[in-house]
Each structure stands twice: as structure tokens, then as C-alpha cells.
Amino acid sequence: MERHVNMNEISDGKKYKSNDMVKLGCNECEGCSDCCRQVGNSIILDPWDIFMLQKNLSKNFEELLGEILELHVVDGVVLPNLKLRQNGEGCVFLNEEGRCGIHAFRPGFCRLFPLGRLYENQSFVYFLQTGECKKERRTKVKISKWLGVAPLAAYEKFICQWHYLLKEIQQAAKEMEEQELRKWSLYFLQEFFVRPYDTEDFYIQFEDRYQKAKELSCNVQGK
């Protein structure tokens, strides 16, 4: 989720790359599951997250919807987010021990926390949100290890492409007539989330869909 904030107020003021060591270690969240509770619809999922859920739970998008996911509109574009339990008990994947039931294939948003990403010049850097995790005496961990995604370079390229494509579409959405916006939003949802990904190489499949969407976006904006 994009936020417009003063970096000096929410971070240690430093910018990091994936090889940097940052005070992230929290003893594997021993006894705490705060960031899996009362998060509303803020855990927005991207195509990689959906690919991982589909692959590991052997369910298609429609099957995930309702059970695990819900949809909401973010700046004119329909996006999926993780569902919370009705009784205020947090994320549907939080188990009785207060641990993540899908740790190995948890969404990128969950992997990142309490890091954030600062996007600039068609790229991004990481920053540490200092007020988010309440654990004290945190240990230094390399960001790449914290994220636990391999190959990280391909993942980071995808993250960047997705962010800027989304931004472009959201920007264009402001100028669109209602009917055109509905058509675009449906295309976006269908192409990047509903249409299943093969279980192997996500990045090749994403690249193909991304290039087509970029082309369409340029045509719509008359570039």
C-alpha cells in the first residue's frame, strides 16, 4: 500500500539495499502476532502472492476468493487482500499457537514487515519502520535473508515493475469514464490474478502479461 509520509518520522532515516544488515531480528516473533491482527484490508496481494497461494494450496483464484481473499478498490483498481476472521482474531492463516500457518509461502507484505519500500526513479530502496514492531533488542539480519525469496533479483525486478504499472493505471484511472474504468479494472484483475499461472516460472509468465498491459496502457493514454 502506498503511503505519503515523512521518512524522518517513521524510520531511522537510512536507505538500505538487500545486502545490508538491519536490526530486524525479533527472536522469530516469539510470543507475538501483533502484525497479523487488526490490519483491516491492508495486506494487499500482488500477482506473485497469488501465484504462491495457488501453487501451495492447489486452489484457483475463485476458490481462494471468499475463503482467504477479498477484493477492494484501491485508487480505481480492484485488488485482492488477505481476509481477516470475523471475530477479530486476525488473519485467516494465524493458527492456534499464534503462528503463521503459511510461513513458507506467506505474502510479500508479511515478509517485508517492519521494512518498507521507498520507490524512486523506477527503482526502490528499503527502509526500516522504527515504530512498527514492539520487540526490543532486535538483532541485525541481512535483508535478503529476512525476505527469504529466491531468486531475489528476479523478485525485486517484478516488485518494481508491478509497483510502477499499478501507479500508471491508477493515475490513468483518474481521467477515465466509469465504463472504461470498469473495463480496465476487469482486464487487470483477470490478467494478473484470475487467469491461473502455471506452477513453474512465475517471472516469465508475469513478464508476458506485463508487456501486454504496458502496451494497452500506452494505447489508452495515447503515448
Nearer residue to ligand SF4 within complex by CB, 29 or 216: 29
Cell (9 digits) for 33: 502476532
Q: Which amino acid is at 10?
A: I
Is-contact 80 50, C-beta < 8 A?
Answer: yes
The window from 35-43, 67-75, 116-124, 190-198 that contacts ligand SF4 (CB under 6 A) reads: 35-43
Report in angstroms how near the CB of residue 154 gets to ligand SF4 at its nearest.
22
Q: Give φ, ψ of 5 to 5 degrees.
A: -135, 165
Near ligand SF4 by CB under 6 A: residue from 110, 159, 166, 173? 110
**Angle, CA 115 vertex, CA 123 and CA 36 arms, to 5°:** 130
Residue 35 interacting with ligand SF4 (CB under 6 A): yes
* Separation CA 140–CA 130 (nearest Å): 14
Is-contact 146 24, C-beta < 8 A?
Answer: yes
Near ligand SF4 by CB under 6 A: residue from 7, 26, 152, 216? 26
* Separation CA 112–CA 48 (nearest Å): 14
Identify residues 41-100 at the interface with ligand SF4 (CB under 6 A): 43, 82, 91, 93-94, 100
Is-contact 29 134, C-beta < 8 A?
Answer: no
The mark string for 120-159 relative to ligand SF4 (x by CB under 6 A, - otherwise) is: -------------xxx------------------------
Cell (9 digits) for 104: 513458507
Nearer residue to ligand SF4 within complex by CB, 20 or 132: 132
The footprint of ligand SF4 on this chain (CB under 6 A) covers a number of residues equal to 22
- Residue ranges that bind ligand SF4, judged by CB under 6 A: 26, 29, 32-36, 43, 82, 91, 93-94, 100, 102, 106-107, 110, 113-114, 133-135
